[in-house]
Every structure is written in C-alpha cells, then in structure tokens.
Structure 1
Amino acid sequence: MFIQSFLLLLAISFLSAGRVPRPEERIIGGQNIEIEQAPWQVSLQVNGEHICGGSIYSNDIIITAAHCLYEKERRLEAKDFLIRVGSSLWNSKGTLVKVAAIRSHENYNSTNFTKDIAVMRLSEPLNFTDKVKNIPLAERNPAPGTVAMVSGWGATSIYPKHSYPVHLQGVDVPILTVDQFSISAGSNGQTACYRDSGGPLVVAQQLVGVVSSGYKYCDGPTQFISVSDERSWLLNAIASIKL
C-alpha cells in the first residue's frame, strides 16, 4: 500500500525488533467492498500503477498524504498523476482524470511523517453519482474505542511476498489513541498497509484521518493524520490551489 520511498523510512521509524511477518495477515484483514460503500475513495496512479489512495473532498479536490507526492527522492509533479474515480477496481472502469495542481503541507517531515497531508486539484470537475461522491471533513477527532473504516488497494499480505489486490478492500478498525495531529487505529491483523497511503479513515460518513504510516510488516496499528486538527490548513490550501 505505501510507495517505495516509504518502505525505507518505515524500517527506521516503526520497525519493532521483536516483530516478524505473519502469513495470515491480510487492508490487512479486510474484505472486498464495492465503490458504492466508499464512493469518495480514489486511486492515485503514476505510470499506470496504483501508488496511493485519496479522498474526494469536492468535485475538483482530492485529499491525500504528502509522501504520496514523492517517488524515491524525486518530487512528483501534477502531470505525473492520473486519478481513477468511481470504480472498485484500480485498473479499470470508472474514470481517469488528470491533475492540474498539487500542494503538500509546507511543514511535512519525511523522517517522522508529521504534517503528512496534501491536496490535489483535478483538471476537470467530477460528475457525482452513487459511485462518485465527496466526503465532508470531520470537525472533531473520534474518541478512543470508536470503530472507523479504512479502505484502499494496499497490500493484503506481505509474506512470503507482497500481494496487492485489484479490488477495493475495506476493514473496520478501532480508534486506539488520539494525539495532537495524529490518530492511531487498527491492530495486528486489521490495519492499513503499503499503498493504502493517503486513503480515508471514516467515521459516520466523515473523513477523520488520512493514512500515513505504520509498522514495517503491517502487523500493528496505522498512524493517520488527523483531519480535524489539520482542518484550517486544508481549507486554506484548497482555497489557494483553486486560484
């Protein structure tokens, strides 16, 4: 689920020495869902490959993770991306849309993934249907113990090798802790994984978090950027990118 540069950083930031990959881990632990169950979900694609997820905020704005804008050490440009909307399959159906402009948080830190959030403006507005809908931003963080849904096309297993689904996956995860600008959710066996980055964490049909980082073997909680804590930045960035 996470992009290549993220793999190396995860080994530094979240590797726990006692952990080993588990063959039964599948998200991880999710199941096929139809796009109508998460019509705000999009696939960010570079060179014909799914690299990250994202969420539809409005008919021309996508919210994703800042680290999704980098390929190894190279900063990707708007022209490098295509966004697939309206399909449960990352590689077919729905609509592919070009990106006109991107902006990541100016204080994004690629070492510890603070401020790991970004917005994209599409080259043309989306037509909303039952498969393509926007999701509102949460105004407050969910309480620990709340059940949230995370979705994406990230790895369903990483042992003995990484396995990536074509069909959209979804899983319900418990909110564990809420810190300043960050939400921890999920567990060993039910969590996000590589290439889920940038995707939505949803409670009561509101976007509460953006998939950011996690354990090297995807065998523990995922860290999400808090949407409510970054709400002011998001709204300002969206206004600026529309100019």
Structure 2
Amino acid sequence: MFIQSFLLLLAIGFLSAGRVSRPEERIIGGQNIEIEQAPWQVSLQVNGEHSCGGSIYTKDIIITAAHCLYEKERRLEAKDFLIRVGSSLSNSKGTLVKVAAIRSHENYNSTNFTKDIAVMRLSEPLNFTDKVKSIPLAERNPAPGTVAMVSGWGATSVLPSHNGYPVLSYPINLHGVYHNIRNWSYCSEILSMSESNICAGTYGQSACFMDSGGPLVVNQELVGVVSKGPAFCDGFTVYESVPFFRPWILNAIASI
C-alpha cells in the first residue's frame, strides 16, 4: 500500500508515513532504543509483519493513525491485526494480542490524510510491566522549540531509483530520535497542514515509512500520532495533535 501511496502522493509532494508493500520502516537519524525507553510503543502486525506503530493508552486501548487501518483500497478489520507489545523487536519476543474492535475518525480523508486518527480495543487487557506501560494523553500542544521523541520501526533511509519506486532500508530493532517541535505557520508554508496538525523534526531527523501511527512524546505524555511527511522523509514530519483530538479519542473509546 505504501508504494502505491508513494506514487500517488509524490505527485503533490507528500508521502504518508504508513505502510509500504512491504518492507518494514524506521526513524531517520535515530538510534536503537530498548522497549523500556518507550514501553507504550506497540507494533501493529498484519499478515505476520510490522505495518504501523501505535501507543498504549490503557490496558486495552491502542491509539494509532486511521490510514493504518487500510491496505491498498481495503479497509482492514479487527481480525486482521495482531498487536506486539513489550518488545523492541518488530518480529519477535514480547506478546501478541488480538484486536476486538477498531474505530477511525468518521471524517478521515484518505486523499490528504486529514483526521488521521484511530483507536483499537484489544481482545484482552495487557499486563503492565517495565516493558509494557500506558502513556497519558497531553492536554495542550507543545510550544515550538520543545524537545520531543518519536519512536518506531520505520525506514532509516529513502533513496530514489530509476523505476520511480523508493529504495528503502529498514531495521528490526526499535529506533527513537529526539527533535524539536516546529512552528505551525512555517510548516504550513511547505507542507499541507490542518488545524489538527503538529509538525516536528528536520532534515536527517524525522519519522518515515511505517512509523505511521506511532507516538510523539513530550514529558512522558502523548502529544502526536505520526501521519505524513515529505516524499523522501527529508524534512519534518506531520503529526495529528492528540490534544486536538482528545475529546474524539475519549468518545471513540467509549463507543467501542
């Protein structure tokens, strides 16, 4: 799906940080981290492979991006997912948990990735340990210049090729990178931004393919969900603002 999205969105200068068909993906400019450094981080698994990131909000609720619920043109169902928790490896260890229900924002737009937010209810509650923990929802957007961390299994590098498809390089181990929140007005002059977006990062330090749905964290609070960015992950990343969507998230959880 991500290659298809790449070709579609490259024409308008964007690429969602979601699923490619089908290598894994990772943070640009980051380094290996252990799951204890981001114990709220989960891997959304489809067909036995990492597809997107997500965050543990409660023992049975995961927050992720709406576009992570689609594969090509098909809307994925709860039964299509397994959630790996408690492991810094995308393909082993930790625990795999089934998903009981999912809900994406009713106004999600797959063309420009607006309202790109979703919640999942797990089929059974998680056992919290030093490797599996929840993260609270931030109530306010961080100010420009604030240091934030993004983590995931996304691409480490994205290079052009003669056939138009990106050449991607991926890790197995979880990566994280610290970068700064950027000014919304500045970002909106370069990338398509809506009022629900936060942007963070810079050239050489950003989220990338298959980091989608993963956490942007400030002071141990979830402030953003990875949504989209430049086609070659060579600039800042656009996140959905958790404070903006906080009422929707809480209502959505109550509904599933």
What TM-score results when the alignment is normalised by the length of structure 1? 0.91
CA distance in structure 2 between the aligned counterparts of 1:79 and 1:171, rounded to whole angstroms:
32
Question: How big is the shift at 1:4?
Answer: 4.3
Per the alignment, residue 169 of structure 1 pairs with: 175
Q: Partner letter of residue 89 of structure 1?
A: L
Is 1:199 aligned to residue 214 of structure 2?
yes
Paired residue for 1:216, among 189, 208, 231?
231
Q: Partner letter of residue 245 of structure 2?
A: E
CA distance in structure 1 between the aligned counterparts of 2:124 and 2:12, rounded to whole angstroms:
38
Deviation readout 1:185-226 (Å, 9 max, x if unpaired): 111100000000000000000000000000110001100000
Question: How big is the shift at 1:139?
Answer: 0.3
Per the alignment, residue 185 of structure 1 pairs with: 200
RMSD (Å), alpha carbons? 1.6
Secondary structure at the aligned position of 2:182 is classed as strand
Decide whether aligned partners of structure 1 residues 55 and 9 sit closer, same or farther in structure 2, where only a CA change above 3 A counts. Answer: farther
Unaligned stretches of 5+ in structure 1? 17-25
Question: How big is the shift at 1:14?
Answer: 2.9
Secondary structure at the aligned position of 1:233 is classed as helix
Is 1:106 aligned to residue 81 of structure 2?
no
CA distance in structure 2 between the aligned counterparts of 1:176 and 1:78, rounded to whole angstroms:
35
Is 1:7 aligned to residue 22 of structure 2?
no
Question: How big is the shift at 1:177?
Answer: 2.4
Q: Percent sequence identity over matched residues?
A: 76
Deviation readout 1:38-83 (Å, 9 max, x if unpaired): 0000000100111100000000000000000000000000000000
What TM-score results when the alignment is normalised by the length of structure 2? 0.87
Secondary structure at the aligned position of 1:115 is classed as coil
CA distance in structure 1 between the aligned counterparts of 2:130 and 2:182, rounded to whole angstroms:
32
Q: Give the length in aligned residue pairs.
A: 231
CA distance in structure 2 between the aligned counterparts of 1:128 and 1:41, rounded to whole angstroms:
13
Per the alignment, residue 41 of structure 2 pairs with: 41
Unaligned stretches of 5+ in structure 2? 16-25, 161-166, 185-193
- Does the CA contact (< 8 Å) of 2:14 and 2:228 recur in 1? no
Secondary structure at the aligned position of 2:97 is classed as strand
